Amino acid sequence: MSRKGVREGTLADEEVNSLLLRVTCLFWLVAKLMGWRMFTTYRTFPTVAAFEWLNVTPSVIHTALFLITIFAVVALLLAGGNRHLLTVLLVAEVLLCLLDQNRWQPWEYQYVFIILIFRMNVHRSRLIHAAIAFLLAFTYIYSGLGKLNQGFLATTWNNAMLQHFFKVQTSSTGGLYYAGYLLGVTELLAGAGLLYPKTWKASAVILIVMHLFILFFLGPFGLRFNMIVWPWNVAMMLYLYLVFIRGATGETRFKPLFARWNLVVILCWAVLPAFNFMGYWDNYLSSNVYSGKIPKMIICVSDTSKCRPLRRFLYASSSAKICAGEMKINVQNWAMTETNVPVYPELRVYETIQKTLRKQYPLAGFSFVYY
């Protein structure tokens, strides 16, 4: 490279940042188009506003904000980091998410923060690089920590990976069963490795391999599940490559982040997620994905004739303990079938959905099971 101070084989900060912004906009656009029903109200799945008084917001407002964000993302993809476009996108996206908490997906949260990082550091390219590196490191640290529990072993590792993907049967007391903890430990250590110049390239390679496995595991050649996260996994691989391999100069410094508005990145990605372990911060805002400890809800339906719009999401209960033989709706499956986006897995969201459904279909005889 001709620029002084940039090692051969690496990119200058400005070049890396331009590519990071375009990767963010491209894959965010793909996700938004895949999950457009969740970002509008053209669906039967209820909206859950952040504040109750926002629940009366007309559908046209949801649609208008969604179109504004699409326009801004496309414009940034084509024109680069214009600060006015960054501001428009941030304001419209925050308002759109306030109208429905189900839009607070982990990829949505990350993309919003990356745009915020660009907006806060318009003329400080080195800080953009450092802030995104910090964000990525703590994404993996908390994601790895979240997997160190029995729920991850039982559901994600044993049920989904071993039995359904690899077709391997194992007992809950065998060594192979407990080997699932190695996935969380590896992700945790690789995330921590992204904080140190001597280990960040090796850590990035390990995490890129992890994302390749996730794509194969969840993708069209695997379980064909949760397709909304497929583009996110590709984006994460590109982030790792651009920040820690192609753009790594050994000079990234995190100390300047502990000042001014960049403290928001420290707070929201390093400090607040720790409170998730005590139940005081949301799962998806803490990189807690596929951890096996996400709360879920089943809706039992006594009279299916009184909720006809929901019939295509109903299926017979196979367990006498849940719904006692009645028809039921798995809220997670309902959200993903109709919108391609999972429900936001917090009890307050489930409780609001419960109230909305009882109001819409008072004669259906709903009962709700949390697990």
Q: pLDDT tens digit string along 143-191?
A: 999 999 999 999 999 999 999 999 998 877 788 999 999 999 999 999 9
Q: Is the pLDDT of residue 28 over 60?
A: yes
d(CA 143, CA 210): 13
Q: What is the pLDDT of residue 320?
A: 64
Q: Is the pLDDT of residue 102 over 90?
A: yes
Q: What is the pLDDT of residue 316?
A: 87
CB atoms within 10 A of CB 115: 24
Q: What is the pLDDT of residue 2?
A: 40
Q: What is the pLDDT of residue 183?
A: 96
Query: What is the mean pLDDT of the segment spanning 293-320?
Result: 90
Average confidence score pLDDT of the chain: 92
Using pLDDT thresholds of 50, 70 and 90, give the confidence band for residue 249.
low
Q: What is the pLDDT of residue 248?
A: 64
Greater confidence (47 vs 172) lies with: 47
**CA distances, 79 to each of 84, 122, 151, 347 (Å):** 12, 14, 45, 41
Query: What is the mean pLDDT of the segment spanning 303-311?
Result: 93
Dihedral, CA of residue 48, residue 53, residue 57 and residue 62, to nearest 10? -50
d(CA 304, CA 279): 35
Q: Is the pLDDT of residue 321 over 80?
A: no
Q: Where are the domains of the chain?
A: 13-286, 297-370
Query: What is the mean pLDDT of the segment spanning 234-249?
Result: 90
Q: Of the ranges 73-82, 286-295, 324-333, 335-344, which is most confident?
A: 335-344
Q: Is the pLDDT of residue 252 over 70?
A: no
Using pLDDT thresholds of 50, 70 and 90, give the confidence band for residue 44.
very high
Using pLDDT thresholds of 50, 70 and 90, give the confidence band for residue 367.
very high
Q: What sign results for the dihedral spanned by CA atoms 69, 70, 71, 75?
A: positive
Query: What is the mean pLDDT of the segment spanning 259-267?
Result: 91
Q: What is the pLDDT of residue 123?
A: 81
Q: Are 297 and 271 in contact (CB under 8 A)?
A: no
Query: What is the mean pLDDT of the segment spanning 41-52?
Result: 97
Q: What is the pLDDT of residue 10?
A: 60
Q: Of the ranges 162-171, 256-265, 266-275, which is most confident?
A: 266-275
**CA distances, 254 to each of 126, 128, 131, 134, 257 (Å):** 10, 11, 7, 7, 6
Closest-CA residue to 153 (of 181, 186, 188): 181
Query: What is the mean pLDDT of the segment spanning 249-274?
Result: 86
Q: What is the pLDDT of residue 322?
A: 84
Q: Is the pLDDT of residue 3 over 70?
A: no
Q: Which of 60-64, 249-253, 270-274 has the lowest mean pLDDT?
A: 249-253
Q: Which of 36-40, 89-93, 133-137, 318-322 has the lowest mean pLDDT?
A: 318-322
pLDDT in tens, 347-365: 999 999 999 999 999 999 9
SS3 per residue for the chain: CCCCCCCCCCCCHHHHHHHHHHHHHHHHHHHHHHCCCCCCCCCCCCCCCCCHHHHHCCHHHHHHHHHHHHHHHHHHHHHCCCHHHHHHHHHHHHHHHHCCHHHCCHHHHHHHHHHHHHHHCCCCHHHHHHHHHHHHHHHHHHHHHHCCCHHHHHHHHHHHHHHHHCCCCCCCCCHHHHCCHHHHHHHHHHHHHCCCCCCHHHHHHHHHHHHHHHHHHHCCCCCCCCHHHHHHHHHHHHHHHHHHHHCCCCCCCCHHHCCHHHHHHHHHHHHHHHHHHHCCCCCHHHCCCCCCCCCCEEEEECCHHHCHHHHHHCEECCCCCCHHHCEEEEHHHHHHHHHCCCCCCCHHHHHHHHHHHHHHCCCCCEEEEEC
φ, ψ of residue 305 in degrees (nearest 5): -70, -15
Q: Is the pLDDT of residue 1 over 60?
A: no
